[in-house]
Amino acid sequence: MHAEPTTDPARPGTAVVTGASSGIGDEYAERLAAAGYDLVLVARRTHRLTRLADRLRSEHGVDVTVLTADLAEPDDLAKVADRVAGHDVTLLVNNAGINGYGPFTEVDSRLQARVIAVNVTAPTVLARAALPEMVKRGRGALINVSSLLAFSSDMPPRPGTGRAVYAATKSYLVTFSRTLAAELGATSPVRVQVVCPGYTATEFHLTQGDRSVEGDTPIAEGQGMPAPDVVTASLAALHTGEVVCIPALTEPAPVRQLAAAEAEIRTAMGGRLARRYL
């Protein structure tokens, strides 16, 4: 059952955050609650979500719903999609992701399928569920959490950290977000962003994604950008309309250069066969 739309224009509405039990997702939940959003927190670890929800209700006085789900499971994904389609949802943060790292020819194909399900299928399905109501209402935003590895295709991996499938899924999120933003149009009141952090100090690298991290594992300082900095960049970029947010990129020129290079490549559409192939 969908919640009724908010009747108070001063309230920002409801934000759905996937992968909310730790790291970047946990930080999004904290910031959005402080900004007055009601929340739907989605992840596999109920105890983590419940603890976070209790604290956010107490500290910020917002409504917080816990939705335990494994987004690689179709029934769970459908359950989350139904809630995301609610009239009250004004922000969807597709943050859940797993890595499945390892040499492509050695990683279990079932784990690779799981990476695709969580990193590609789930955010696509949830975006499709959320956006029609946002567009109809003329209000809303979508944030997809990608990675700098989306741009790493020919960069040699460190030993033992093959990333062919993971990097491809994150490249998908970049292309999906940019193309969707263009489809909606620059004047659309519904904003789309893809945020591409580099190495971040979270639990993400402690497991391939086939299992959850047990307990509360401390993350040492200095192991990548702090999750709060990633979220600070993302929310600031959302405010200014920056579609591709790269938190540690000093100057945005490379993103513009990427778009220009793509435009040049597209001049080959329907053209004559290049001489080098003759």
Catalytic residue numbers, as ranges: 166
Residue 196 vs residues 25, 95, 220, 230: alpha-carbon distances, Å:
14, 11, 22, 9
Neighbours of 272 (CB within 10 A): 6
Cβ atoms within 10 Å, residue 115: 24
**Cα 228 to chain centroid, rounded:** 15
What's the DSSP call for residue 91? E
21 vs 26: CA distance, rounded Å: 6
d(CA 206, CA 204): 6
* DSSP secondary structure code for residue 200 in this structure: B
Neighbours of 104 (CB within 10 A): 12
Cβ neighbours of residue 205 closer than 8 Å, sequence gap 6 or more: 99
Residue pair 96/16 in contact by the 8 Å Cβ criterion = no
25/9 Cα distance (integer angstroms): 26
Q: What is the spatial distance between Cα 46 and Cα 55, in angstroms, rounded to a whole number?
A: 14
Tokens (6 digits) for 82: 């139904």
Max CA-CA distance within the chain? 70
Give residues with Cβ within 8 angstroms of 124, minimum separation 6.
Answer: 176
